[in-house]
């Protein structure tokens, strides 16, 4: 694959979590979250994006979200559980993405807010108007995802270089 071909990143916020008496990192999905994660997975499958790599936070709710969503995809990508995604800032998430080998084309990152929404806002210097309007109106609720593209190597991902091409949230 040439680095001149556009790369695609799906930034996927975990589904709705429950609030039992456990540490934040160990919070499981709520019943609604389990349903929304599967619906999000079907929407991801409908997008036709063949993911080469999934980067998932180690938190229980992100792992459960990904397990339910990936079940809906026609192809299961390699999944890496990355501790640095939990509670990461947009800059820290860019650092994680900058480390991806250039033979990887399409990536899904399953993480948390405010990092996922912040990363979307920081890297997207341009956007499809309809996608930007939906993101502005809805914010980044649980189980939402944004699809962004950029050209160049993974090391070249930085603020303003990507384009927001799609956005979806539950009950859209």
pLDDT tens-digit profile, the chain (172 residues)? 444 679 999 999 999 999 999 999 999 999 999 999 999 999 999 988 899 999 999 999 999 999 999 999 999 999 999 999 999 999 999 999 999 999 999 999 999 999 999 999 999 999 999 999 999 999 999 999 999 999 999 999 999 999 999 999 998 5
Give this prediction's pTM: 0.95
Q: Report CA-CA distances (Å) from 114 to 12, 141, 155.
A: 12, 10, 23
Closest CA to 107 of 150, 144, 68, 64: 150
Is the bond preceding 133 in cis, omega lying within 30 degrees of 0?
A: no
Burial of 100 (0-12, 13-18, 19+ CB in 10 A): buried
Q: Which residues of 79-89 are buried (b: 16+ CB within 10 A; e: fewer)?
A: bebbeebbebe
Place of tokens 């456990």: 22
At 75, list the tokens: 């192809």
pLDDT, position 48: 87
**pLDDT for position 172:** 56
Residue 122: CB atoms within 10 Å: 17
Question: What is the pLDDT at residue 1?
Answer: 45
Output b/e per residue, 131-162; b: 16+ Cβ within 10 A: beebbeeeebbbbbbbbbbbeeebeebbeebb
């Amino acid at each position: 694959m040439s680095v001149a071909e556009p790369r695609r990143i799906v930034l996927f916020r975990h589904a709705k979590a429950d609030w039992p008496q456990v540490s934040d990192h160990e919070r499981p999905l709520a019943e609604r979250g389990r349903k929304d994660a599967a619906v999000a997975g079907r929407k991801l499958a409908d997008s036709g994006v063949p993911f080469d790599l999934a980067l998932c936070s180690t938190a229980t709710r992100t792992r459960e979200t990904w397990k339910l969503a990936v079940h809906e995809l026609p192809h299961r990508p390699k999944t890496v559980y990355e501790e640095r995604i939990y509670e990461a800032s947009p800059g820290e998430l860019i650092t994680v993405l900058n480390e991806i080998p250039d033979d990887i084309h399409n990536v899904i990152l399953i993480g948390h807010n405010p990092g996922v929404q912040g990363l979307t806002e920081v890297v997207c210097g341009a956007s499809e108007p309809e996608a930007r309007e939906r993101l502005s109106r809805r914010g980044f609720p649980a189980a939402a995802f944004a699809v962004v593209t950029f050209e160049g190597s993974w090391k070249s991902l930085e603020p303003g270089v990507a384009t927001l091409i799609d956005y979806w949230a539950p009950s859209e």
